[in-house]
A = this chain, B = another copy of it.
Amino acid sequence: MRAVVLLSGGLDSYTAAAIAKTQRFTLFALTVLYGQRHAREVEAARAVAGALGVERHLEVEVDLRAIGGSSLTSDAAVPRDRDLESGDIPSTYVPARNTIFLSLALGWAEVLGARDLVIGVNALDYSGYPDCRSEFLEAFERLASVATAAGTEEGAKFSVQAPLLRMTKAEIVRRGLALGVDFGLTHTCYDPVVRKGAVLACGRCDACLLRLKGFREADAIDPVRYAPPASASPPRPRA
């Protein structure tokens, strides 16, 4: 059975894809080049697709910088050291991003005859993005069948698989490691710094904070390199 997997190059989508692979799906990986700040993400997605042994890896460009409205698709500063428990939706939220991504996945799935879309969203250790919640995924599933010829002609039901939805970041890290995921290939940071040609994670954006928390709570070592803070000590895990 075929599944289209949204692959960003991050830790979550890689783990979600690895889980789908254990379910005997043949993976078709879709990476959306949406004008995100760093080409590093796309390189990571390619490496991850290779490691997963996907059947095909498709990259589709959609310039969301034209739409803007996010610090990830504009030159606005990415927030640092934010309180992840605040409940606020941060400026890194990209309007309608997962709707756009799933729409593209749906189009490709219909062409491939796939009925499963896999997305690595998580609604526990996350930034509060609305399009990472189960209400959103269920509404997209309902939309998918009425939106397509497959749904109309054959009554095909599309299913959005979000295997990480109710996992903590630590559970995701543990699950990934158990499945042999190579987290060294991934890139998570929203605001990396380049030092002597190496891309280093900032350790202070939401994405880094969540990732660090996950590895810390899973009692595992994160293989990616972080920029030393101004004080030259390694990023300190918060209590």
Contacts and interface: CB of A to CB of B under 8 A. Distances in A.
- Copies of this chain: 2
Given A58-B66, A62-B61, A107 B97 contact: yes
A99 B139 contact: no
A157 to B, nearest CB: 13
B149 A139 contact: no
B139 A146 contact: yes
Interface stretch (A127-135, A166-174, A178-186): A127-135
A137 B78 CA distance: 35
Given A147-B96, A148-B96, A149-B93, A63 B66 contact: no
A235 interface: no
Interface in A31-74: 58-64, 66-69
Interface in A77-108: 89, 93-100, 103-104, 106-108
Interface string A102-137: 011011101100000000000000000111010110
A143 interface: yes
